[in-house]
Amino acid sequence: MFESIAKSVIDYSNIPTFIVGIYTMAIYKRLPREMKYFSWFVFVSFVVQVIASILFYNSENNLPLLHIYTVVGFVCLIIFYNQIFDGLIKPLILWVLAAVFVVYSVINSIFIQDIYTFNSYALSVEAVIIIILSLTTFVFLMNDIVKERRLAIIKSISWINAGLFIYYSSSLLVFYFGNMIISFAQSPLVRYTWFIYALFSIIMYFCFFVGLWKRPRKSIS
């Protein structure tokens, strides 16, 4: 029973990506500035997921896509967080962080983890940075002055940020214990791990959907 549920979750974990992607396209024009930048991340995820699915059904290795997605997705999220912090955290810090990560990720893909393998090192570093940024965002959003300034959008940002935090913190553990899990290749542990990973991905997209749904309905300047 549990096996079949786990299999279904893993198999259909792409669906939320498609739903949120299509929904974001539909409401893109009505989104406030900050969320427009976030929607770029959703679009990138959507496009990558579509191509990855096509490659998968054609029995081709889709891992090079993950290498590209790691870099592009990260840059999109940095732009999004830059918009949230609105100058209260110097944009230069985040841009330097993004640049360093891109360089590290490219070096990792060329010299350390081949593009046809799982880029767990880059993903782990990405997860650490996103966890730091999302935790900072939670503290940031609790500040009274910030609350006052961004009252309209605070709910949306909180949901999106919560989604990112949940997904990346669980991913970090999965990537961290990745090597150990691989050593149990024949055991159901691998399947359970991917089940948990997929489950958190679904939760993240659910949070994204709620965040996008709770967007400010009136245009804000």
Partner 1 sequence: MEATQEINFLSILLPLVLVVFVIAIGVFLLNQHFQKNLIRQQLEREELRNKHQKELLQSNIEVQEAERKRIAKDLHDELGATLSIAKMHLMRLEQMHPSLESKGLSIRNVRNIIETSIASVRQISHHLMPNQLETFGLIRSLEGMVDQINESKQVEIDFEIPQNPSKLSWEKELGLYRIFMELIQNTLKHSQAKNVEISCHEDDGFVTMRYKDDGVGLPEKMVHGLGLKSMEARIKAVGGSLEFIRGDGFAARLTVPIKDD
User: What count of other Cβ atoms lies within 10 Å of the Cβ of residue 202?
Assistant: 18
In angstroms, the CA 136 to CA 84 distance is: 11
Nearest approach in angstroms of CB 176 to partner 1 is 6
CB atoms within 10 A of CB 184: 11
Instruction: Output 146 or 202, the one with its CB closest to partner 1.
Output: 146
User: Minimal distance in Å, beta carbon 89 to partner 1?
Assistant: 5
Q: How far is the CB of 135 from partner 1 (least distance, A)?
A: 5
Q: Which is nearer to partner 1, 58 or 148 (CB)?
A: 148
Q: Least distance from C-beta 218 to partner 1, angstroms?
A: 25
By beta-carbon proximity to partner 1, the closer residue of 38 and 140 is: 140
Summarize as ranges the residues that interact with partner 1 (CB under 8 A). Answer: 85, 87-90, 93, 124, 128-129, 131-133, 135-136, 139-140, 143, 145-146, 172, 176-177, 180
Contact 93, 85 (CB under 8 A): no
Q: Smallest distance from the beta carbon of 170 to partner 1, in angstroms?
A: 14
Residue closer to partner 1 by CB (options 129, 207) is: 129
Q: For residues 88 and 107, which CB has a smaller minimum distance to partner 1 in the complex? A: 88
Q: Which is nearer to partner 1, 69 or 85 (CB)?
A: 85
Nearest-approach distance from CB 138 to partner 1, in angstroms: 9
